[in-house]
Amino acid sequence: MMKSIVSNLFVALLALIAFSGTTWALPSRVSIDVSSLAGSAIELEIDLYDNSGVIGDSWALIDNVTLEPAIEIIDFETGTLEGFEDWLNPVSVGVVSGNLIGGSYVLRIDEDPGVTPTITYTYKDFLPSAATTLSFYFEMTASNTPGPWGLDALVFSILDPVTLSPFPSLPGLYGFGDVLEVTASGVMYSPGVTVTVIPAPGALLLGMIGIGTMDIFRRFRKSV
């Protein structure tokens, strides 16, 4: 009887962890090598594509957009967009209370009810500098429902702010300057991009519980 209970609890725990993992993307830090663009102004564009056809089943949070060494930091702690544009999708792009790695505010991007993708970009473009890295933090709640164009996708692109063209040294995944794409199935990124997942405290706790449960289960099996 006890063996069955422990076994069922273990299976339920694994199911909970798996469900959580496929529903929420953990906060992640993205680092992009822009050393080849030294001396050029750059524009960061973020697009959220509603490919499932269901409005509201995917959204994203963005924080601490930084040119490094720390030439400029956009952390939204003023409660404003601080250099990002919302005129294309004013009802779907805004700063809200919350945090990914600390602080009180983040940029939130929702699927727009009228047009896809939802687009925001740095209208206060990063000016020419000696920066070598562009970094930011993001978290995406991604639908795993596919539509005619696949899964909902969050796409980050680096463009020339004057021509809106990709830089030859950063052509991107599909040749349009898109250096990172995030969906419910995972992430794709171009060379020079590093994505580091930041484990949330809840995920760490679940992992510790899971390890502890497996240890108890193994010991129980040995005793029967």
**Residue-wise pLDDT tens digits, 184-193:** 999 999 999 9
Better pLDDT: 83 or 71:
83
> Which of 37-41, 84-88, 158-162 shows the lowest mean pLDDT across its residues?
37-41
> Which of 49 and 39 is assigned the larger pLDDT?
49
Average pLDDT, the chain: 82
Mind listing the pLDDT tens digit for each residue in 115-154? 999 999 998 778 888 889 999 999 999 999 999 999 999 9
- Domain residues of the chain, as ranges? 1-24+199-224, 27-197
Q: Residue with structure tokens 């040749």?
A: 175
Is pLDDT at 221 greater than 70 in this prediction? no
Ramachandran region of residue 76, left (φ > 0), alpha (ψ -120 to 50) or beta? left
Which has more confidence, 163 or 208? 163
